[in-house]
Amino acid sequence: MKSAVVVFPGINRERDMARALKLISGHEPAMIWHAETSLPKDTDLVVVPGGFSYGDYLRCGAIAARAPVMASVRAFAGQGGLVLGVCNGFQILCEGGLLPGVLMRNARLKFICHDVHLRVERSDTPFTRGYNAGQVIRVPIAHGEGNYEADEETLKRLEGEGRVLYRYCSPEGEVSDVSNINGAAHSIAGIVNDRGNVLGMMPHPENHVEDIMGCTDGRGLFAGLVAHLERAA
């Protein structure tokens, strides 16, 4: 799996992401600066990592979403290429119109930085095939604006089309207001676009991929992508 990690000023999770991609795919990802106007040929996966692009000025992800490189990312997604946005990357993809909805201030206003549990809603997608449907995984979150909101019609469509891939839950896999850490609509932690090739998620799977991190539950996401691409090749 050849991946490209897009880097904006103020992003700070790109090296964690690059390390996880290298570890699991065996290939060093290309780091693509925001002012670039093209992606490397043969890119299999574009990752928009987490951080605080442009200092979260205006709205989280708003300015990064209009950076030159995003035109290439949009074109890549338009051709069916796989795009993964994590945390600020999710916010950027929403601001850029690659995913519906918006990430609002956490309902209880606090920046939250600790592990959460996620329920994997289905396993038949490139972004979840490393897991079983219904499996509960533990990954960290670190955000102040992760409260996913969209209008009723959009939420209905996301649910109806099975596009909610990850949901905040209890360690036992129960979804409730208590486990819904940031107040997101329908406890949404991660969604895909209508074509299923663009995933945005607030939690950081790249931070749970090695034993030294205390948990390797995040590996499945990347291993699943590698397996998907190998099968497609």
Partner 1 sequence: MKARVTVTLKSGILDPQGKAIEGALKSLGVDGVASVRQGKVFDIELAGSDKAKAEAALKDAADKLLANTVIENYRVEVLG
Catalytic residues: 87, 204, 206
- Shortest distance (Å) from residue 69 CB to partner 1: 17
Contact with partner 1 (CB under 8 A): which of 51, 101, 146, 224? 101
DSSP code of residue 208: S
- Residue 58 lies near partner 1 (rule: CB under 8 A): yes
Structure tokens at 51: 């951080």
Q: Which amino acid is at 38?
A: S
By the rule CB under 8 A, 85 interacts with partner 1: no
Contact 143, 106 (CB under 8 A): yes
Site membership for partner 1, residue 102 (CB under 8 A): yes
138 binds partner 1 (CB under 8 A): no
Q: Which is nearer to partner 1, 16 or 95 (CB)?
A: 95
Q: Of 34 and 228, which has the nearer Cβ to partner 1?
A: 34
Residue from 36, 115, 149, 159 touching partner 1 (CB under 8 A): that is: 149
Contact 218, 141 (CB under 8 A): no
Contacts 24+ apart (CB under 8 A), 57-60: 59/95, 60/88, 60/91, 60/95, 60/103, 60/145
Closer of 94 and 169 to partner 1 (Cβ):
94
Contact between 105 and partner 1 by CB under 8 A: the answer reads: yes
HSE, CB side, 13 Å, CA atoms: give it for residue 208: 20
Does residue 151 touch partner 1 according to CB under 8 A? yes
Q: For residues 88 and 57, is the Cβ–Cβ distance under 8 A?
A: no
Q: How far is the CB of 149 from partner 1 (least distance, A)?
A: 7
Other C-beta atoms within 10 Å of 152: how many? 8
Residue numbers at the binding site for partner 1 (CB under 8 A) = 58-59, 62-63, 66, 95, 100-102, 104-109, 147, 149-151, 183
